[in-house]
Structure 1
Amino acid sequence: MEEFKTIATFNFVHEIVVLKSILEHEGIRYFFQNEHLIAIDPLASYAYGGIKLKIHPNDFEKVQRILDELNNNLKIV
């Protein structure tokens, strides 16, 4: 896991639900550092630096496109 790099950081667990589904569907290797810790204590998110999405460097461009697409298309009403 040492070769995995952080590509994005999130503050709360609910922000990663859709992204997890997409990454699993695409077969991309990933893990969310601090996910369970922040799920237990959401106010600790800022103290721990948030939930970090870690991916293998070979998947960087593909995941960046997914993140860009989500940022452009998901709208909270």
Structure 2
Amino acid sequence: MKDYSCIAVFTYPHEYFVLKLKLEDKGIKHYFQNETLVGLLPLSSFAFGGIKLMVHPADIRKAREIIDSLNDRSSHLRIV
């Protein structure tokens, strides 16, 4: 997992819930660093630099495309 790259940072788990489902649906290798810690101690998100989306190098392009599609203003599933 040391080769994985951070491509996005979130403050709270509810901000990336739909993104997580879409990444899993497409089979993109990823994990959210600090996800459990921030879930237990929500105010610790700032101290640890947020929840980082870590993606395998082979899947970075596909993951960015999904993030861009969710950030589109016309999307009903926009990322917060």
Q: Which TM class, normalised by the smaller chain length? A: over 0.9
Aligned to 1:56: 56
Residue ranges of structure 2 left out of the alignment (5+ in a row):
none
Partner of 2:27: 27
Deviation at 1:75, TM superposition (A): 4.8
Cα RMSD, aligned residues only: 1.3
Hey, which of these two has a bigger chunk of helix by percent? 1
Counterpart in the other structure of 1:37: 37
Instruction: Tell me, in whole angstroms, the C-alpha distance in 1 between the residues paired with 2:78 and 2:20.
Output: 18
The number of residue pairs the alignment matches comes to 76
Q: Which residue in the other structure is 2:8 paired with?
A: 8
What is the DSSP-based 3-state SS (H/G/I as helix, E as strand, rest coil) of the residue aligned with 1:52?
A: strand
Q: Which consecutive residues of structure 1, in runs of 5 or more, have no partner in the other structure?
A: none
Q: Secondary structure at the match of 2:2?
A: coil
Residue 69 of structure 2 corresponds to residue 69 of structure 1: yes
Partners of 2:64 and 2:20 in 1: CA distance: 14
- The sequence identity of aligned pairs, in percent, is 49
After TM superposition, the score normalised by the length of structure 1 is: 0.92
Q: CA deviation at 1:27?
A: 0.5
Output the TM-score relative to the length of structure 2.
0.89
User: Where has structure 1 moved over 6 Å in runs of 4 or more?
Assistant: none
